Amino acid sequence: MTAAAVPLPARPPRAGSLAPEAERLDRACERARDGLLAQQRADGHWSYRLQSNVCMEAEYLLLGRILGRADPDRERRLIARILDDQLPDGGFPTYAAGPADADVTVEALAALRAAGLPSGHPRVAAARAAAERLGGVAATRVFTRMWLACAGLRPWEGLPELPPEMLFLPGRGPLGLMRFASWARATIVPLTVVLTLRPQCDAVVLEPGALPEGAPGGPRRPVPSGPLASAFLGIDRVLAAYRRLPHQPGRGRALARAEAWIVDHQDVDGAIGAIQPPMAYQCLALHALGHRRGSPALERAWSAFEGFVLDDGERCEMQACVSPVWDTALAMCALADLGVAPDDEAMRRAARWLLAEEVRVRGDWARTRPHLPAGGWAFEYHNDLYPDVDDTAIVLCALGGADVEGRDDAVLRGLRWMLGMRCRDGGVAAFDAENTSRLVGRIPFCDFGAVTDPPSADVTAHVLEAAARWGLSATHRDVTAMRAWLLRHQESGGSWFGRWGVNHVYGTAAAIPGLTAAGLHRLHPAVQRGVAWLLRVQREDGSFGEDCGSYRDPALIGRGEPTASQTAWGLQGLCSGGEAGSGAAARAARWLVEQQGADGLWSDSRFTGTGFPGDFYLGYHGYAAYFPAAALGRYRRSRPVGGAHSTGRAPIKLTGALSEALV
């Protein structure tokens, strides 16, 4: 449903006519505003496509076969989606325009063959050759080899042990469940069942050698070394021997506890963690435990998993997640930057939708914060057990731009929860507090992606900005602690690492606004070093780009093909750092104006979102909609006019209740 356009607020009168460049900027802002409003849904929220790599489609296809739910018509569309991502060398990448990856290529090859494409098909032959060149199955992670074993495509031998008895360990013990990040907990518990029961399945039958195992001396998955790695490998061998015993005391009770954990952690829609891996793995675990069609737990799990599918009848795509809360809050922030008023009905509808999404129950996070009242927001439609601090910070910023009933009470709960999740060292992580164990990442199972949730610069900066938006003073204890953390974690070159966005452009463009909002002057050396870094990596045409490969190759930090979202982040950092009147900011704004689409928005062909640095990336299709719109609005507002300079909106004055509660 298209929302009605709203007029931009009047600009301050100036003598003479507007300069052509200013007129063009005004038109671009108007078009961006109208474009965003046209994409608002009838109930007030925004939600955009979330793209990742074709492991999502391959695993959906294999899971359908394993569970006996295969749909030949849908499989045809899944294959079309997979083939769309095949590179000229036959392989498949982890991110758009990236190099071929062994895991993605092997899983894609398995799905192509499972769906019936013969070994002689040109695309299959090319994929197999690429997989062999990349090291074959021997070069893949535990997750990939587990999927192949579940589908009956290779033996279970060689996979690490992950015993369900670990659920009996103290949660905060050295290897307890709470030592893992929220997403890792939601993944590990179902996999304790799958890797223990090792279900036998003949869902896919292929000829010997259909999947290359890898040549002797060829590429292999890196194996940890050192005394600790040797100790864990020894433990793994002991656990494997325990598995072979005719009687395993306590194993049945451990599996029952894992099953209960899975059912207890299903959200109202049946999802666990509201991300693809644990949602898929709970289906595998429940199936291994004997659940079949008609089982309420399995039906809820499968329904939630299918809820992430985009199927238009021609192509079928499996999303790794959905991002409606994140999208809605950032779209609201962009509209506020463009000058849409707090009493505008579009803003009010969006705010009411966000208020209805507030999390009011206690999840796993309460194990480390037992006295902290519930509050905050999650990323998705349903994920009450796993709200996150980053979403909460952006939602709080967004609610500052809308005047609706019940807002202040929700803001108070959100601020309390958000600040209560600050870690002892002053930094803020996404989902958990004090989740920084180095030990758990060394167990043989953990060979892919981050399994802990330490504080990050981007989340800490967003929390600082939200706290300042709601009037917390620069001397507030949480503000000073977070500000000090950010200053300590600035890179030697002046940038900040981007945990949840690619990469240093994202981290730096978050840190500078956060620090200046929290009372640091724009002439502070840390701010100026951050600005200087942005100026060094800005392209001659004014744009910014940073490749996903920058997480592994330092030479790519700040370098890459330009994107609208990253150029918007760079412009935002420049404006907050006092450079709104500079030629660098003008060039960035001009590049965005020139790249604006017919719908008033932008598009990115490259991924700029991060799931796991170095391992898993995301293409947020909303990023090229709201971030450039927000950046142009902020640039328009921040440019010096008559000697005046502004880097942001005025903080909201706290009411008596809010002020007293947060002192």
Which residues are annotated as catalytic? 390
CB distance 318 to 275 below 8 Å: no
Q: Residue 588 in contact with residue 572, Cβ under 8 Å?
A: no
Those residues whose C-beta lies under 8 Å from the C-beta of residue 531, and which sit 6 or more positions away, are: 512, 573, 574, 577, 578, 579
Q: What is the rounded CA–CA span in Å between residue 282 and residue 284?
A: 5
Tokens describing residue 382: 């349903």
Tell me whether residue 185 is exposed, middle or buried, using C-beta atoms within 10 angstroms of its C-beta: 0 to 12, 13 to 18, 19 or more. buried
In 3D space, the residue among 526, 534, 523 whose CA is nearest the CA of residue 488 turns out to be 526
- 488: its two tokens: 């300590």
Helix (H) or strand (E) holding 620: strand 616-620
Handedness of CA 185, 189, 194, 197 (dihedral sign): positive
CB-based contact 145:158 (threshold 8 Å) = yes
Q: Quick one: how far is CA 249 from the chain centroid?
A: 40
Give me the half-sphere count of Cα atoms (radius 13 Å) on the Cβ side of residue 628. Answer: 36
| DSSP code per residue over 331-379 | HHHHHHHTT--TT-HHHHHHHHHHHHT---S--GGGGT-TTPPP--B-S
Nearest to 106 by CA among 120, 121, 79, 124: 124
C-alpha to C-alpha distance for 346 and 353, rounded to whole angstroms = 11
CB 169 within 8 A of CB 176: yes
CA distance 133 to 313: 35
Structure token digits, residue 602: 């932008």
- Residue 205 DSSP class: -
User: Do residues 291 and 298 lie in contact, with contact meaning Cβ atoms separated by under 8 Å?
Assistant: yes
- DSSP string for residues in 52-113: --THHHHHHHHHHHHTT---HHHHHHHHHHHHHT--TTS--BSSTTPPB-HHHHHHHHHHHH
Q: List the alpha helices (DSSP H) in 386-524.
A: 389-399, 407-420, 457-469, 477-488, 504-517
Residue 434, token pair as written in the block:
């004090």
Tokens linked to 12: 């301050």
Q: How far is CA 606 from the centre of its chain?
A: 15
